[in-house]
Amino acid sequence: MNTIFRPAIVLFAAFTVMTGAAYPALVTGIAQAVFPYRANGSLLERDGKPVGSALIGQQFDAPQYFWSRLSATTPNPYNATASSGSNLGPTNPALLDEVKGRIDALRQADPSNTAPLPVDLVTSSGSGLDPEISPAAAYYQMDRVAKARGLSPDAVRQKIVQYTSGRQFGFLGEPRVNVLRLNLALDAAATHP
């Protein structure tokens, strides 16, 4: 009996050490050495304190800030532990109510803006955590943010251009604007003119 169980126990212990300790330690070490910013969560800081991740959206609803895409996570918006889409189909009345509510909020926040609403401002992303909006969504909000901050639309437009990322590798995806980075840059410009 000892000859049957001993190899099994030795293999179990060896694979536990290799896959449960050695491999994760190796991968973590390589990530920390080669990609420390990404390995530590892509955290963004203000005054030396972390305020969020560049990879996870945040809720902004004050008029002086650019607003993110809607979040479908529960129980709180942009809950990284509950990443999911809404699973609401195009004929679901709950989706229509959500979109109408967001349209109303955007129109009330800037009643003089009669431009067409970009779709990413009224729908949630597949993960519910999208930290980015399209440049069109940023330009749609530009006048509201400029007015609330007492800035010229041109000054805000320059920040949008500065924080717009192009297509990955020049051909994958679409241009995008990281909302948290843009809002932090506007806050920094206000405190350090």
pLDDT in tens, 151-184: 999 999 999 999 999 998 989 999 999 999 999 9
Residue 168 main-chain phi, psi, to 5 deg = -65, 130
Tell me which of 83 and 68 has the higher pLDDT: 68
Beta bridge partners of 43: 53
Looking at the chain, the whole-number percentage of residues with pLDDT higher than 70 is 98
Strand-pair category, 164-165 with 43-46: unpaired
Helix (H) or strand (E) holding 44: strand 43-46
Pick from 142, 149, 150, 94: nearest CA to 121: 142
Confidence of residue 46 (pLDDT cuts 50, 70, 90): confident
pLDDT of residue 90: 83
Q: With contact defined as beta carbons under 8 Å apart, do 70 and 78 qualify?
A: no
Question: Which amino acid appears at position 70 of this protein?
Answer: L
Q: What does pTM read for this prediction? A: 0.81
Neighbours of 71 (CB within 10 A): 24
CA 159 to chain centre: 18
Measure Cα distances from 111 to 21, 134, 141 in Å.
58, 21, 11
Give the pLDDT mean for 81-86: 75
Q: Phi-psi bin for 172: left (phi > 0), alpha (psi -120 to 50), beta?
A: beta
Give the integer Cα–Cα distance in Å for 104 and 92.
19
